[in-house]
Structure 1
Amino acid sequence: MNELTFIFQRFNWLSALDLFLVTLVFFGVLLLVRDTQAMVLLRGVLLLVVALSLLTSLVSLPAFSWLIQTIAPTLVLAIPVIFAPEIRRGLERLGRAGSPAAIFWQQSEKDVSTMRETIQAVVSACARLSARQHGALIILQRGDSLQEYIRTGVRLNAKVTPELLLQIFYPNTPLHDGAAIIVRDQVAAAACVMPLSASGILNRSPERQMGLRHRAALGTSEATDAIAVVVSEETGSISIAHGGRMIRRLDSERLENILMAFYQPPPKTSSLSDWFRRNRKPPAFREDIER
């Protein structure tokens, strides 16, 4: 009690700032590894550190304490190696958050009309593919360039229409296996190879039979700021992925509302709270992410 009283007597605003910064660092680390396989590893590391700290502080073990103190600095080098993918993903998000929401259509009347036509074509195609239970993966480019993925597919550079998307994803055709990437109002390429997700969200889902299309959609949303729309071949359900999150079982009306929300012009920010509000997920992604 005397020690606690002594600590509180020395507590001032600098101590509060110090605790706040330490808490902020831990919060940032947890945010980086959230919904990834690294979360389990981090939990194990924290339990091990706590157990070793208690053991060395409660019991007098000079040799063991010396060993722990000697090994501890190596964690500074080990942590970046172990959590390299999560750190890279977090820095990419930070870099994207520093700039206005990138929208490939400048907001003139003609470009807004083009945007709506493209989204309506995608929604119409997804509804018809869902009714026929034809699998599909459609990627809509936003701020990050997808050229490295476009090069893995077959270049089309054709105007987006429902009929074109239906033909691309018709079963057993040469272009149906892979993703169709849309840039502005054109299908830039089809049969593109996209990165698979390193997240544990799909593994924890009650429906674990989701295949490579869903994993590629989630992986693309983790690696870029693109929007991925998936139609399940088994059930015909429509899903959308963005920012490492996925919403499933959408109808055509809700899909259109979500896509339109993504391509609204960003509001002018005048304060820090507005900046955080702008960089949050759209309302649809804050409801029930994994349902």
Structure 2
Amino acid sequence: MKSKLRYVLVIAMTVAMSTALVRGTQEQGESFGDKLKNFFVRPKPTPKHRKKKKASPTPTISPLPAVTSTPAETPVSRPTPSRPPMIKPPPSPLGKKGAIPNATISTAEISGSESYSPEVQKVIDLGLNLTTQNLGYKINSADPAGRGMDSSGFVYHVLSRCGIKDVPRDAREQYVWVRKAGTFEAVLAQRDDSFELDALKPGDVLFWATPYSVSREPDVIQTMIYIGRDKATNQRLMVGASEGRTYKGQMRKGVGVFDFKIGRTASKASKEPAAVFVGYGHIPGLDRK
């Protein structure tokens, strides 16, 4: 019995060992073949896992608003404004061919004018300003807007504008006005170097009368304002309106500056004798200091 068991055990062990040997041989053959195959065959690279990029959102393009074409404006015909008619300016008193312009100077050309009182300076400044406006001689006019003035109208306008009260308009009335105020200085001599002119001051009113007067009261027909002596020539000067007097020896007309000479010198073109100088007077109410 024991021998049978041993026999069976030996056979089983033999079979087991044979089976194991066959399997080992197969595994070795497969392993060698696989190795040989892998030697000649290039292994495939292992694919790497790539991260998917986040797709950026596609910007949404908003549709452009439809452009509505504006209909072209229909041109409106407008009437062309008519030009106003050309207005010719009034003729200047110096517009005539060969006319000599009015004489004018500044206070700087008057000797000692810097020492004049403010009241006298105002009178002379206003008078000289009128000489720059090309005003002619115009009878019965005391307004420079009328493009001309007469002698008494000039005196009336200047003194009234300077604040002097109760200035008469007429030349004879201006003479009476000064006489009543007690400021008149009579001049009998008809010479420029007479002592009767020693009291003459800038701002005084000068008086001329007609040579035909037969009464003892002079018939005053012309007045002007004395302004002082020319700084260059020492000639006495006056300002006012005249139909014909000289400035630096040349005949002038209209509103301007003139030489003050008391001699009877008439214009060569005039057949009438010159007016006679009768005196001068200080302006009532005017401070001459």
Larger Rg: 2
Calculate the TM-score normalised by the size of structure 1: 0.24
Task: Answer 1 or 2: which has greater helix percent.
Answer: 1
